[in-house]
Structure 1
């Protein structure tokens, strides 16, 4: 999934680079500076990002739209890996693709036994050490994924996301002085965007 490939025009194929712009567009509300840096790294304009997002929305809502699973395969190509995943009593399949903007992460699509996509988000690549999360100071934007925060600060309670592709977690974490604080963490596409401390 090379990042150097130019984003698609309104009539060309939707590329892996376009998909990265879709991920960034959803994160821009919380971290515009990080998104701006990433946009420059990819060598694309704000107009490119808007066009990618417009086309993504059109694909999702088209009456002739592919299934989500086939759409990801057509855009991202063959998965880097496909691994079995057990969710409760169901045997599912996780398909993972590299994302050049975040080389330590993978974009994961989780398929139910009937082929329906249950979840789609960024996860840590297998074999890559995740961040050390011990205090609130470690919870910086883009530092960790949903599952990493949930494990580090268990027990964590899921919160309803404020929009599609967004997730929330409520948990307690110590601040720099060691005082445990109740926090709400918000994630976009599975990647931490911001943390709000109660009180």
Structure 2
């Protein structure tokens, strides 16, 4: 009797490692070299990264998707911290999780009173020392978060991102010689990816 071919095994649970691969997949558009190094550090293949992203997109776009807040809890576990936060006139909760790839950062989700996710990005970990941002030369890929750049080069003007999970900032910053430049900084998942320096 000829054995029947085995059915495709169901995918295992979506893990924090898979989630880091999702973040990297989006960042690969701007910094393939950094992403390649990070992928090797995690010990995963390019195919595994693509598969993780494919599964994440399927979860997000499911006809009956799980609410975003509970999706993050199911993937990342209970938050390392959850704190009340007020943004303007609105109250929310800030949930944060550590990610091994970026020990100095936390993945933060802002959750509204109705359980809706207002924002999701990487922020500096509590107590972690942030970068010294003084000139355009300090703005290297993955060096800082949206919030850090906005504070260092205030006033910064938010720009609409070119895709979901992307943000932009426009501001003026000096170079190492003190010459001022118009800068547009692009961020993915809250982490700096690249800058365009004007005159």
Shorter-chain-normalised TM-score: which range? over 0.9
Matches within 5 A, 1:64-79: 64-79=64-79
Q: Quote the residue 2:118 is aligned against.
A: 118
1:55 — aligned with what? 55
The alignment status of 1:164 with 2:154, answered yes or no, reads no
Which secondary structure state, in structure 2, belongs to the residue aligned with residue 169 of structure 1? strand
Question: Deviation at 1:112?
Answer: 1.2
Task: Report how many aligned residue pairs link the two structures.
Answer: 191
Larger Rg: 2
Q: How far 1:10 moved relative to its partner?
A: 5.8
Deviations 1:56-83 (A, max 9, x none): 0000000121000000000000000001
Q: Report the counterpart of residue 142 of structure 1 in structure 2.
A: 142
Partners of 1:156 and 1:163 lie apart in 2 by 20
RMSD over aligned Cα, in angstroms? 0.9
Q: Secondary structure at the match of 2:141?
A: coil
TM-score of the two chains, using structure 2 as the length reference:
0.94
Is there any run of 5+ residues in structure 1 with no aligned partner, and where?
Answer: 1-8
Unaligned runs of 5+ in 2: 1-8
Tell me how far apart the structure 2 counterparts of residues 132 and 198 of structure 1 sit (CA, whole Å): 22
Q: Which runs of 4+ in 1 moved over 2 A?
A: none
TM-aligned CA deviation for residue 176 of structure 1: 1.6
1:25 aligns with 2:25: yes
- Checking the alignment, whether the CA contact within 8 Å between 1:90 and 1:113 is kept in structure 2 is no
